[in-house]
Structure formats: C-alpha cells, structure tokens
C-alpha cells in the first residue's frame, strides 16, 4: 500500500506548520491510519532551523492533548517537491515562495483551499497573543479533519484524489 506523503509549510516552521503536522498526525493515529501516511512540516525560511516549535504552539497543542514538543524546525529542501505527494502552504506568501523555489511543482496547494475549501490564509500568530494560536489551532483542526475525510480510508480513493494534486 502506497503511503500518502503530506508536507505542511509556513514561514519559519515554528507556529502553524508544526501545529498542522501535530494535529494531522494525531487524527491519523486516532483513526488507525498511521501506516498509511507520511507527515512532516517545513518552513520556507531557514532562520529557525533546528529550533523547537514556538512555546505558544507547544502549549496550545498540549492543551488539546497533542505533543509537538519534540519537533524541530527545518527549511524546505529541493527534494521535498518530488518526495511529497501534497505540499500544503499556510498562506499565499508561502505559496508564492514555494512556486519561486520550484516553478513547475504541481503538488503545492493552499491549506485553506485544499483542506478547508474556503480559500482563506491561515494567519501567522507569531506576533500576537495566545488567543491567536487558539484561533489558528481551530482552523487547522477543522482543515485536518476534512483533509483526512477527503483522502478517504482506502488506496483506491487516495490515488484519484492525490493524483489530481500532482
């Protein structure tokens, strides 16, 4: 069975994308589908490389029963564009940067389009309060839940939905 590989991307890989990775991993584990997915996160910038997620992201996730404290930030790599079936960017600025890095990549999507069907950007909570992290968590949770439902539970449904992404 082919695993579906998903990469969540934000700017520094310390706020939104590690939360998305943690939420989706948690939902996949609870559903019993951990062996069917490869899940990771990265940032378009590399200045946070090796850092743990922002303490507010860790606290927000922990408040919802999810531990992301062992994650480490990394910058997206050229090979990620071919290694991942689906690259979900948190906002349009990151979409633009990803397309600049890999102009021909057809697997790049906006999280708000692909997972939420709303077209919204997931706002960067970094310069705000803990309330902003809770808001981001709520939007990411809703999108990750829909993403898991969209990808289905069998390989037949995955192949059609993922192949249209590439």
**Of the listed 16, 36, 56, 139, which one is catalytic?**
16
| 124 is a catalytic site residue | yes
**Of the listed 10, 15, 139, 144, which one is catalytic?**
10
Q: Is 32 left (phi over 0), alpha (psi -120 to 50) or beta?
A: left
Q: Are 106 and 166 in contact (CB under 8 A)?
A: yes
Give, in order, the Cα–Cα distances in Å from 21 to each of 29, 53, 118, 156, 164.
Answer: 12, 11, 20, 24, 22
User: 39 - beta bridge partners?
Assistant: 6
**Of the listed 15, 121, 124, 139, which one is catalytic?**
124
| 15 is a catalytic site residue | no
List residues with catalytic annotation: 10, 16, 124
């Amino acid at each position: 069975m082919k695993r579906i590989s998903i990469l969540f991307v934000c700017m520094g890989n310390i706020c939104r994308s590690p939360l998305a990775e943690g939420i989706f991993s948690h939902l996949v584990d609870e559903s019993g589908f951990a062996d069917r997915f490869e899940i990771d996160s990265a940032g378009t910038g590399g200045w946070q490389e090796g850092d743990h997620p922002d303490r507010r992201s860790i606290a927000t996730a922990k408040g919802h029963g999810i531990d992301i404290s062992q994650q480490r930030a990394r910058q997206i790599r050229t090979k990620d564009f071919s290694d991942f079936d689906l690259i979900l960017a948190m906002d349009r600025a990151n979409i633009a940067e990803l397309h600049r890095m890999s102009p021909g990549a057809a697997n790049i999507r906006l999280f708000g389009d692909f997972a939420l069907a709303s077209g919204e950007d997931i706002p960067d909570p970094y310069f705000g309060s803990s309330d902003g992290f809770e808001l981001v968590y709520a939007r990411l949770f809703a999108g990750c839940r829909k993403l898991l439902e969209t990808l289905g539970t069998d390989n037949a449904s995955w192949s059609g939905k993922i192949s249209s992404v590439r």
